[in-house]
Structure formats: C-alpha cells, structure tokens
Chain A
Amino acid sequence: MTDPLDAYGDALRRALHAEADAVVPAPDGLDRIRTRISERRRRFGWGWFTETWGRPAMALAAAAFIALIAISATPAMNAIEGITAGDRGSANEGPDRSVGNGTSVPGHGGAPGQPYPGGPAIPAPTSSPTPQTPPTVGVPTCQPSAAAGATASGSPSSPPSCTSPQPPVSSPPDPVTTPPTEPPASDTPSATSEPPAQPEQPHQGEQQGQP
C-alpha cells in the first residue's frame, strides 16, 4: 500500500534528523553576528563614506554650485555689460565726432544708431535724446549743455557728449553773429581755440597749394 519512495523518504528523514540533532551550534552565535554587523557598520558607515566618497562628493557638489552660479549670473552680467557699453558709447561719441569730419558730426550726434562700431544698440536711445537737443536749439553753446545736464542728470556721460559737439556747431556762427555774447556763456577754452583754427585751415590750404 505504501509507496516505496515514501518508505525510503521516511528512512532518509530519520537519518537526516538524527544527523542534524547531533549538531549543537556554539552558544555565542548571536554575539558573533552582532560583532560582524557592528564591523560592517563601522566599515561601511559614515566614516567609510567620508573616507572614500566624501571628498569626491563634496567636489561634485562644489562644481555643481559654481556651475549654477555661472549659469544664473550670465544674464545679469550681460545686462551689466550692456549698461557699461552704453555708457562707453555715449562717452566715445565726443572723440568720434571730433576726430571725424567736423561738419557731419553735429548732425550725426543727433541720432546715433551705434555710438561706436560693434556697440550695442540698446544704450543708444538713452543717450540719443541728449545730443539731439543741440541741433534743435542750434545757435547757443551753453544752452544745450545745460539742458543736457538737466535732462540726463543721472548719467555722468552726458556732459562730455554735449560739450564736445558744441564747439564745432557754435564756432562757425560765433564769429558771424555776436562774439561778445559767447565768452560769458560757458565754453571758454573751446570757443577760444576753435575760431583761430578755421581761419588757419584755408590759410594752410593756400600755403600748401602755393608750392
């Protein structure tokens, strides 16, 4: 009735249990396990992390922080550079006009698209109203500078931009209209230096043409 495999299985079960019952493990097994666990904790714990992975992790964190600052600061730096470039452009408008052709400078100074080659177009509108005032006013030299100083009081670059174009504009009419009214206005050195310059130019041209 009984399966021979079951009979063999019972015999094998008895043998295995008899063999296993003879085994008595050491009583300090739990202590050994706890010791191994503590060693493992100490080996792979915070100290192990700081010894092995702490510095690379901190280096990565620092690099990520610097990159984040660089990325976030780029627009602000562009804006700051734009403002400073606009200031430079308005400041460079005077030398450009003085160095370039003297007749076209006053007209050009009224509507500058770019204050200098490669300069940004954003600051141009801010500085453009102040030079536009001299041609509208036209004759007097002191009024545009005073008006420009009053309108663009915040920007320090407006006084040089207004003073530099004035002499070429005011110098031709000055000898024609009223010399005595000019000196008390404001620009004494430019007014005094410019009138002798223009009579000299034809004189030099004549001297150069004679030989």
Chain B
Amino acid sequence: MTEARQGMPFRKPDDEQGRPIDVTETLVATGTADAVTATWDADQAVTALYSANYRSLVRLSVLLVRDIGTAEEVVQDAFVAMHSAWRRLRDPEKALSYLRQSVVNRSRSVLRHRAVVEKYAPKGLPDAPSAENGAITELERTEVIKALGELPTRQREALVLRYYADLSEAEIASTMGISRGAVKSHTARGMAALRTVLEQMT
C-alpha cells in the first residue's frame, strides 16, 4: 500500500507526504489547503505546482504523445494557460485537475496534428529511451508500450489515466470530458486489446 502510494505520480503542491489524489481528496479539500491555495497568486501557483507535478505531468504526456520534447511543450503550454487563467479559476484547489485536463486535451491535439502530418509525410516515431526495471524486461515493456500506442486515442487516454495516474472513473471522466460509462467502455476495450501482450508479461 505504501509502495503504491509512493509510486503515485500526482501530488498536491503542499503535500509533502506524497499522498495519492483520489476522488475524496479532489472534491473535499482541507481548510488549510484552501487558505494556502487561495492566497497564491499566479506566479506562486505556477512555481508550486511545477515543483510538485511537472515531472508527473510530463511523464503522463509522454505516455500519450510518445515524445519527450513534445510532452514537455504540452505541459509548459498547460502551465502558461493556467497562469493566464488563474484569476478565472473559481476553485484554485482544482488547479491540478485543470492542469491534468489541459495536458490531456493538448496531447490529444498533438496526436491529431501528428496524424495529419504523418498522413502526408510518414516518418517513424521517436525511439523510447531504455530504462532498467527488475519486474519486466525491456522487451516486454517495449511491446506493451507499442501495443498501447496502437490503441485508439480515447482508449489509450483512459488506460494511462487509470493505470499510470491512478485516477478514479469520475476523475477520468472529468479529465476526458466523457461519462463514466464511456470511461468503463474505453478501459475495457483497451484492456481487451492489450490482453494478448499482457498475458505474455504475466
């Protein structure tokens, strides 16, 4: 349980314990967090959210767009947009949700643009960097990521948000802008498509 929580990529900016963000934590914020977040201006919010969540957001975007440079640009654009829209945020406590949704939407836009570009000038995807992991081999991981990349965009988003960001169905639905039933459908279909590859891993 503690390992799983330590592995959770998304944390609140003022959360030093690295607690995972679930539905309860998103919807019900503590009074101290409200007070701290409400007193932030846009620059402070960008700085705090960057130090807490920038890496996780970049990794989330990498899993969606499969390119580190593009993922960083996507996340930076999301931070800039959040900075300009900071005064319009009714609930600053949901700035992380705003950032996550912005990253997903921008990653989707990047993929849409990339599909158009590759349609006329096809070129290979950038190579994913290799990493050591004791649980699975590099080959298996590459196969899974490759199979994940071949999924439709909605299914890939649902799987990444579910199994990497560890979001609940309600949060995934809010982030993707779809219903919870659609989230279940996309997740089930994506897992069914990855079953053959995942069976080899298990």
Contact = CB atoms under 8 A, between A and B. Distances in A.
Given A25-B72, A33-B76, A14 B59 contact: no
Contacts of A33: 46, 50, 76, 79-80, 83
Contacts of A8: 191, 194-195, 198-199, 202
Interface stretch (A15-23, A66-74, A75-83, A172-180): A15-23
Nearest to A5: B191
A110 B128 CA distance: 110
Interface stretch (B21-29, B60-68, B107-115, B169-177): B60-68
Given A23-B59, A25-B54, A12 B198 contact: yes
B136 interface: yes
Contacts, number: 110
B62 A23 contact: yes
Nearest to A10: B202
Interface residues of B, number: 48
Contacts of B191: 5, 8-9, 12
A17 B164 CA distance: 6
A13 B54 CA distance: 20
Interface string B49-82: 0110011001110110000100110011101100
Nearest to B7: A17
Contacts of A29: 50, 54, 58, 72, 75-76
A37 B46 CA distance: 10
Contacts of A18: 131, 133, 135-136, 141
Interface of A: 5, 7-9, 11-26, 29-30, 32-34, 36-37, 40
B63 A37 contact: no
B183 interface: no
A11 B198 contact: yes
Chain B contact surface mostly: helix
B163 A20 contact: no
Contacts of B58: 23, 25, 29
18 contacts: A9-B162, A12-B163, A13-B163, A15-B144, A16-B163, A20-B60, A21-B133, A22-B131, A23-B59, A23-B62, A23-B129, A25-B58, A29-B58, A30-B46, A30-B47, A33-B83, A37-B83, A40-B80
